Structure 1
């Protein structure tokens, strides 16, 4: 038996690192296993014990191989693993996320402003205790190398043992295969290591240059404008328009010509959700998206954003909050209201008959929901003020989130009021969210759970539409997808295109 000494044989060091990695970073992994395996049965206990032994031996074998090839590289990688593991398990334990390929993409595309909102003392403690302290020991320990013959023998015996254990669990292969995505997303450090490789592999394979759609034609000279508001993390269950018990839509509920439809997002994370809203069909390929397509075909397109994660936008007027801030006045300029500053005037200044405005908001993005709206919109109290959502009561968390919906209600009503003043235009406002949000249900928070196992809170979204008097009629639609946006905008602006699908338009 060995202890934490400053001098260890390479095999002992590798095994120690494997044991620490197992103890520190696999609570969520085995919580899942115990939840879905009958541990009272003999076969269930065999599976659990096998997974424990397999994880310990396999990780020890990998660490052994790396450290034998180079002590310095091995130590560097282990330090990197322990620190990234610490951050990863903080998010897994705190928010119930899965570190799969889509989550890796979400992380790599996160901007500083969003990532900084997750900062907490608890995160620092995870990093200090599970990452930095083990790193100090890894730096100080002296690894005693062995002969190449002993290395070959140890590695070979370990590999044979692993193979034997895998064969002994042949009856459990079906269960492991069925749950492989979840198990792989919770196994450290391989969840983010493998999925980062897969993410970049998919990006490399994808067609980075968008596939152009067939040319379109603007069919009339009627002045028309659509304001498409892309919501962030707005789930329809918390909109009173959809029957929610709390009045989160006090303004929209009184607006004439307003329609709301059930809709599902195609993904539970921003980049895929926004892409789906802007594309003509649900596909992994990068086809020309709505703003690029209309801009290329003589429609005036304006994009205003306080968010991120959209596909490449190729238009003239792309405005971030920093560009809008100098011309904005009032308390709302520090929030998503800045996106509405001078919007009516910008539409009126257009020299084109057809105008599309896209507002990409961030209003309901967690974990700091209470910072996403001005104080006067804090209708529901008390609210959660911690980034560690598990420390708040669910009532406090939902109150904070509901206040973001009240603020969304105000902004949408304000957009409609502005559009009503454009007497020469046929106008429409469409609000569609990129995905939903978990607020503690099933101990899950925020979003990003793979669609195959995602709860409905993360994909059931609002699809809200307003039309001006005398403009297009709205079909009695049932459940919609995000792809309905593309065809509905074409229909409203009377842009004729070979890719237009009448069945995918919400307008008659």
Structure 2
């Protein structure tokens, strides 16, 4: 047994740390492996044994490199790894997330007030026992290094051994490659270290100067306004408009001219979902997004946000929660109703005939669903009040989530009510969610899984449209995408553009 006072050889030390890292943090990794291959077959057994060996040897190898090059840097990095590993595994075990590049983007773009809602007693148990206590041992350990010749010999033999294991599994490369994104998102500490690097590399490329779209021309002087409401984590299957057996849309269901379409999101996380809603195509390039494009082409554009994760927005009127709260009164100002404060008056005060208002909500974002709506909207009871969603019954969890949909229904009905009073305007309200949400189905919670393996709950979204009397009617189509928003807004405001795509327009 090694104590803090006894000296320990570097090879023994990294072996102990590799084993601890394996035991503490790789249950989710091997749970996925066992669930996705035939572990009773010869090839399945071979993959499992090989992955165990690779995990132990590769981690020990990298830890050995750290400590051989610099004992102090090695201690700092490994202590940091164990602390971050403990936090990461808490989220993986509690919410079923995978730390791929997209999830890392979510983490890095999450504000403190949102991230604090994920903290629970279990979080501190993970942090203390799997993170802080091992880190104390790492910092206090007295490590005996080896001469450079022995170091080089150990490195060379380990590399040969690792390459042998890898090539011995050549017949299993196809399975590993197929599942590489998920496996890489569950392997600690490489899931977040590699994917943080990839995120910043790709983010740098994305934030290069956006590609300007061809100029648009406004074709008439008719006063027209579109209110685009970007929903957060709303899944269509919990809207009674889509056939849900609980009445979560008591108000919208009674309003004439409300139409809903079947739709899917282009991603399962906010930053990509919002970008998809305001982009003209799924090109992957950084083209000018809808608010920037319309603002540059003489349309009044206002973006109001009670959320985060928007792509770079270059307009005059970007209004966040802090700005909107100054002139907002009432209990609703603590929720998404803050986005409606003075909305009708702002539209009426515009000196331009064409207006786009974007409202970026946060209503259905977990895990604290029960805190996302005023108490009077708690229609379905009992509700889940814990951030550890697995501790609630699924009925309680779904009740809390359904109440956020009831509140969304109320907000959308209020927007429509305001637009109806603008008699001189042709008006439309478009509601589309950034992505869906898992509520315990298949033991998954919230969102953010890679789209290729995500369940339908995370990408089947509502796409609800209302139009005022006398304005444009809707096409009799059933299925749309987030990319329909861009072209439909151009059509409703009657802007002519070379990049307009009639097939992605919902209006006649």
With the length of structure 1 as denominator, give the TM-score of the two structures: 0.98
State yes or no: 1:441 paired with 2:441: yes
Whether the aligned pair in 2 keeps the contact of 1:231 and 1:433 (CA below 8 Å) is: yes
Residue of structure 1 in register with 2:316 after alignment: 316
Structure 1 portions without partners, runs of 5+: none
Whether the aligned pair in 2 keeps the contact of 1:299 and 1:354 (CA below 8 Å) is: yes
Tell me how large the CA RMSD over aligned residues is.
1.0
Cα distance in 2 between the residues matched to 1:419 and 1:315:
23
Whether the aligned pair in 2 keeps the contact of 1:207 and 1:285 (CA below 8 Å) is: no
Cα distance in 2 between the residues matched to 1:36 and 1:293:
45
Residue of structure 2 in register with 1:62 after alignment: 62
Cα distance in 1 between the residues matched to 2:214 and 2:303:
23
- Between Structure 1 and Structure 2, how many residues are aligned? 507
Residue of structure 2 in register with 1:120 after alignment: 120
For residues 204-233 of structure 1, the C-alpha deviation after alignment (integer angstroms, 9 at most, x for no partner) is 233521111111111111111110000000
Q: Secondary structure at the match of 2:259?
A: strand
Aligned CA distance change for structure 1 residues 207 and 120 (closer, same or farther; 3 Å):
closer
Cα distance in 2 between the residues matched to 1:430 and 1:169:
52
Q: Secondary structure at the match of 1:125?
A: helix
Residue of structure 1 in register with 2:243 after alignment: 243
Whether the aligned pair in 2 keeps the contact of 1:303 and 1:358 (CA below 8 Å) is: yes
State yes or no: 1:261 paired with 2:255: no
Residue of structure 2 in register with 1:79 after alignment: 79
1:138-287 maps to which residues of 2 (within 5 A)?
Answer: 138-206=138-206, 208-287=208-287
Higher alpha-carbon deviation: 380-389 or 319-328:
319-328
- TM-superposed CA distance for 1:114, in Å, is 1.3
Cα distance in 1 between the residues matched to 2:49 and 2:292:
55
Cα distance in 1 between the residues matched to 2:207 and 2:359:
26
Cα distance in 1 between the residues matched to 2:375 and 2:10:
59
- TM-superposed CA distance for 1:4, in Å, is 4.7
Q: Secondary structure at the match of 2:428?
A: strand
Residue of structure 2 in register with 1:42 after alignment: 42
Whether the aligned pair in 2 keeps the contact of 1:436 and 1:459 (CA below 8 Å) is: yes
Residue of structure 2 in register with 1:451 after alignment: 451
Cα distance in 2 between the residues matched to 1:21 and 1:207:
36
With the length of structure 2 as denominator, give the TM-score of the two structures: 0.98
Cα distance in 2 between the residues matched to 1:451 and 1:442:
16
State yes or no: 1:376 paired with 2:373: no
Whether the aligned pair in 1 keeps the contact of 2:2 and 2:8 (CA below 8 Å) is: no
- TM-superposed CA distance for 1:482, in Å, is 0.3
State yes or no: 1:389 paired with 2:397: no
Structure 2 portions without partners, runs of 5+: none
Cα distance in 2 between the residues matched to 1:374 and 1:403:
10
- TM-superposed CA distance for 1:70, in Å, is 0.6
Cα distance in 1 between the residues matched to 2:37 and 2:210:
45
Whether the aligned pair in 2 keeps the contact of 1:268 and 1:458 (CA below 8 Å) is: yes
Residue of structure 2 in register with 1:470 after alignment: 470
Whether the aligned pair in 2 keeps the contact of 1:231 and 1:361 (CA below 8 Å) is: yes
Q: Secondary structure at the match of 2:102?
A: helix
Residue of structure 2 in register with 1:28 after alignment: 28
